Structure 1
Amino acid sequence: MPLNPEQQQLVDQWLPGACIVADLSWGLVDTTVLHLRWAKGEVIVKAAGPKNHHLWREITGHLEFTAPWLSEGRVGRLLRHNRDLNVLVLEYLPGVLADGTSAATDPETHRQAGALLAALHRQASRIDDQYETQMDARALRWLDGDHRIDPRTEARVREVIAGHDRPPAVLVPTHGDWQPRNWLVDGGCVLVIDLGRADWRPALTDLARLSRQQWDGRTDLEAAFLAGYGADPREPGAWRRTLLREAIGTACWAYQVGDEPFEQQGHRMLLQCLAMAP
């Protein structure tokens, strides 16, 4: 999605004379990501449509969560933002995306990622009595929408959700999509991008995608990550609930945006979760 006229006018005011170096947009959702160069250097511009909540989360994440990363130069600084128009400007970070390179399966990358995540999580915490109930309700809304989950599997998933415990949860600042596609590596140093899913959640939720992707069959990566993190936050019951919700969201969201490989991953995750169910 290109910038709409109002967004383009605002970016022109913020960054006069800027030119596009690269379009980094994924093309699956209505988020535009542009690498721009202007008189004062290079920046990243992100913009989205009015119903896209990821930019709001990213702005909030940068304003409220990133202090420990900024102090070490591990995340781009938020330079400009406008919530009304859903557009922001970030400091450009050098480096190569870890995803798809040897860095994605390098224990040192995962050790640094664990340490970075620990710094994010330990900033603050709060208790939420309704978190588990709300997350189960969200999972059921996914199942009520469009998807290609087998009816038998769906029925079993609904049965498992109905039997969930829903204790009070400890929430911390989380990234929400913690995996190599959101890590840059520059001279061996791991940097962080994309806070579009930043929110208050249980700490263990930030380990879910890694556990079903990079750590599958790679206990060395998991061990390196936990060494950097300093502990293992995964209480078994909460972990099973988290993985099931993650699998549902993956299968349904990927189907709705047309990402078939990611959708198939979601279906595999569902079967793994049902095998873990009590």
Structure 2
Amino acid sequence: MKETKLLPETVRHWVEQRIGPVVSVRDASHDWDRSRVWELAGQGGARWYVKVSPSSKLFTRETRAYRHVVPALGHSQAPQLIDSRAEDLAMLLTVAPGDPAPDLHLSSASWRSVHEQAGLLCARLHETGELDRGDQAEAEEDLRAAADGVEKHLGRAGDRLTGDEQQLVRDYAARLRRVEPVPVGYIHGDNQPRNWLWSGSAVALVDFERSRPAACVQDFTILAVTEWLDHPDREQAFLRTYGRGLTGAERHALRCLTALDAVNSLAWGPDNGHREVTARGRRTLDRLMKEDRP
């Protein structure tokens, strides 16, 4: 059972200076230790969210995204940042319409509609403005940085991978370092249905703490090993509104990225008691081993 997290008093005081008295607080955190999000209700039924970021790095990324990138998505298609407080790594946000898509028991047709809307928003995000020189350099080094981080994840995963599986992941990291140039832009960083709110006609994106300048294909990694693997029609719906298919270099990079996601999932999932993430990593690794080491 998830332990209820309490809203820090300093954060509550700061929030009430901006929105008035808070009538009720509901813990809306994800089920891992570092997630801290609360839904607030004020007088008259108005609602907000307050989020305390896990780190200053993620706080900086998310506040930057809300100020400079998220507005391009359009009205009501993401929360809006009302204010932030760096001392507490806290953000006060409006409530975007809809509910997390996985909670809604959607039909196949509705899921395709969700992916169509998500593809459209993802395209807007990736195409938001020109990256400055620093952002461009960061984005162009993104895949190499991902490959360079593989040993850290392998170390954390330890004996959850066999020697052959560890070598497979290292091989994919080496391939990723050699991949041809791919399109870059501003990515969401955790692009998956749990961060898509569905209102019945439109999607809103939430949770921008991992947003950054990067290779656009990074935003498709989790989808490629979950939604799209099981439902190719959803991938087609997404890419149709995204506006283009993936390049050959992106397809190659994506396969490499799924291997890196697998070892990261097998490092993070068990340590945080997250069965879904753990199962995702094991399933991907088993599939890659079967395909690459028959």
Common topology (TM > 0.5): yes
- Partners of 1:130 and 1:153 lie apart in 2 by 26
Q: Which amino acid aligns with 1:114?
A: G
TM-score by length of 1: 0.88
The answer to whether residue 161 in structure 2 is matched with residue 149 in structure 1 is yes
Match of 1:239 in 2: 254
The answer to whether residue 182 in structure 2 is matched with residue 182 in structure 1 is no
Number of positions where the alignment pairs a residue of Structure 1 with one of Structure 2: 276
Match of 2:38 in 1: 34
Q: Which amino acid aligns with 1:145?
A: R
Structure 2 SS opposite 1:191: strand
Structure 2 SS opposite 1:215: helix
- Matched residues, percent identical? 23
Change (3 A) 1:149 1:211: same
- Partners of 2:241 and 2:145 lie apart in 1 by 31
Q: Which amino acid aligns with 2:259?
A: L
Match 1:194 to one of 200, 207, 218: 207
The answer to whether residue 122 in structure 2 is matched with residue 122 in structure 1 is no
Q: Which amino acid aligns with 1:86?
A: L
Structure 2 SS opposite 1:177: coil
Q: Which amino acid aligns with 1:79?
A: I
Shift, 1:60, TM fit? 1.9
Match runs of 1:80-119 below 5 Å: 80-103=83-106, 105=108, 106-119=111-124
Q: Which amino acid aligns with 1:202?
A: A
* Cα pair 1:178 1:209 within 8 Å, conserved: yes
- Partners of 1:204 and 1:109 lie apart in 2 by 19
Structure 1 SS opposite 2:222: helix
Bigger Cα displacement from structure 2, 211-220 vs 163-172: 163-172
- Partners of 2:251 and 2:47 lie apart in 1 by 44
Unmatched 5+ stretches in structure 2? none
Change (3 A) 1:271 1:227: same
- Partners of 2:277 and 2:210 lie apart in 1 by 17
Shift, 1:226, TM fit? 0.9
Change (3 A) 1:56 1:110: same
Match runs of 1:155-234 below 5 Å: 155-164=167-176, 165=178, 167=180, 170-234=183-247
Match of 2:52 in 1: 47
Unmatched 5+ stretches in structure 1? none
Q: Which amino acid aligns with 1:265?
A: R
* Cα pair 1:32 1:46 within 8 Å, conserved: yes
